[in-house]
Amino acid sequence: MTRIIDGNEIADRITADLEPCLETLADAGTTPGLATVLMSDDGASETYVSMKRQACNDLGIESIHHELDPDAPADALFDRIDELNDDPAVHGILVQLPLPDHVDRQAVLERIDPQKDVDGFHPENVGRLVTGTPRFKPCTPHGIQKLLEAEGVETEGADVVVVGRSNIVGKPMANLLVQKSDTGNATVTVCHSRTDDLAAKTRDADVVVAAAGVPELIDGSMLSPGTTVIDVGVNRVDADTEKGYELVGDVEFESAKEKADAITPVPGGVGPLTITMLLYNTIKAASLQADVDVSLP
Ligand SMILES: Nc1nc2c(c(=O)[nH]1)N[C@@H](CN(C=O)c1ccc(C(=O)N[C@@H](CCC(=O)O)C(=O)O)cc1)CN2
């Protein structure tokens, strides 16, 4: 019987485990603050930022929100980041991606103080991750680690195929999985749009992490029985619904479910973990900046 992994339930459990950390910080006089910066009128980005703000409010993290006109010059964003870097009430800074074409994304990520880089995208934090001394693990791959752990999926010695090589998911996911650690020690293959015979790779995998951003790229015929399938895709495809779209993963759920041992749905799989691990990183940032040990879960 295929297990449908309930990401909301796992995320709720981790969020509950974060509450004592906030109490410890409060006793020391610190309320963590997360600044979100939105420079886009893309509907999905607006949704994700409002979910992040709501999650902060629910847990007791101060949410500080900034919106910039998508047509504003890049300097407006750099100036805002400088202000947030200097603001002691702001422990974490998140610039929602993607950014408008005229803004140099890498320059933006490098402008954020690495101590406040709760996305873990600054080169200093990327370097720390790759060398096995992470400060902030990027939220989605960190969430997937937590999800695999919660489901008892052993990564030690497992063949894991990561489909997608983005800086947000694919590359950090592969790096975390190869680390010498309880949630690593996997043999990892990173595939992408130019991979020859993708199906041959995914059929050999114990775990497939689908993060290519291509709706229903992977179907059941590309999987072997017993695989754990982690679907990172949250693609909006046109549909005759009230919203005019429906959410579809990078995995064709119905056929994949027939082969998989366990599979994450979309929505309700990886997405909720992404938000929870942002809360986790914000608390970690506050604890490091206030020099208060909070024993994170
Ligand atoms: N600065 C960042 N930008 C982006 C990141 C990121 O980690 N940092 N990741 C993605 C999008 N993302 C977070 O921003 C994200 C995507 C999906 C979800 C989520 O919970 N999805 C729900 C469905 C939500 C819906 O109804 O649309 C689910 O899967 O259940 C959370 C966060 C790109 N940008």
- pLDDT tens for 73-97 read 999 999 999 999 999 999 999 999 9
Q: Which atom of ligand 1 is nearest to the CA of 96?
A: 1
Contact present, 11 and 273 (Cβ < 8 Å): yes
pLDDT of residue 283: 98
* Pocket, ligand 1, Cβ cutoff 6 A: 47-48, 51, 94-97, 119, 139-140, 168, 234, 247, 266-268, 271-272, 274-275
pLDDT of residue 1: 86
Burial (CB < 10 A; 0-12, 13-18, 19+), residue 241, is exposed
Asked: is 26-116 a CATH 3.40.50.10860 domain? The reply is yes
pLDDT of residue 82: 99
CA distance 19 to 249: 31
Cis peptide before 98 (omega within 30 of 0): yes
Quick check: do 26-116 and 139-272 share a fold?
A: yes
Give the number of residues written for the chain: 297
Q: Which residues of the chain have pLDDT under 50?
A: none
Q: Where does residue 23 fall: left (phi above 0), alpha (psi -120 to 50 degrees), or beta otherwise? A: alpha
CATH node for 139-272: 3.40.50.720
Per DSSP, the residues of 1-38 read --EE--HHHHHHHHHHHHHHHHHHHHHTT---EEEEEE
Structure tokens at 28: 């020391």
How close is the Cα of 48 to the center of ligand 1, in Å? 5
CA distance 210 to 217: 8
Q: Dihedral sign, CA of 37, 87, 126, 187? A: negative
Catalytic residue (choose from 113, 115, 117, 119): 119
- The b/e string for 80-99 (b: 16+ C-beta within 10 A; e otherwise) is bbeebeeeeebbbbbbbbeb
Say which residues have a Cβ less than 8 Å from residue 281's Cβ, sequence separation at least 6: 92, 118, 119, 120, 136, 137, 139, 142
Taking CA atoms, 107 is separated from 78, 115, 124, in Å, by 9, 17, 13
Contact present, 102 and 90 (Cβ < 8 Å): no
How close is the Cα of 274 to the center of ligand 1, in Å? 7
pLDDT of residue 278: 99
Q: Which atom of ligand 1 is nearest to the CA of 97?
A: 3
pTM for this predicted structure: 0.98
Q: Is 284 one of the annotated active-site residues of the chain? A: no
pLDDT of residue 247: 97
Per domain, the residue ranges of the chain are 26-116, 139-272
Q: Is 52 one of the annotated active-site residues of the chain? A: yes
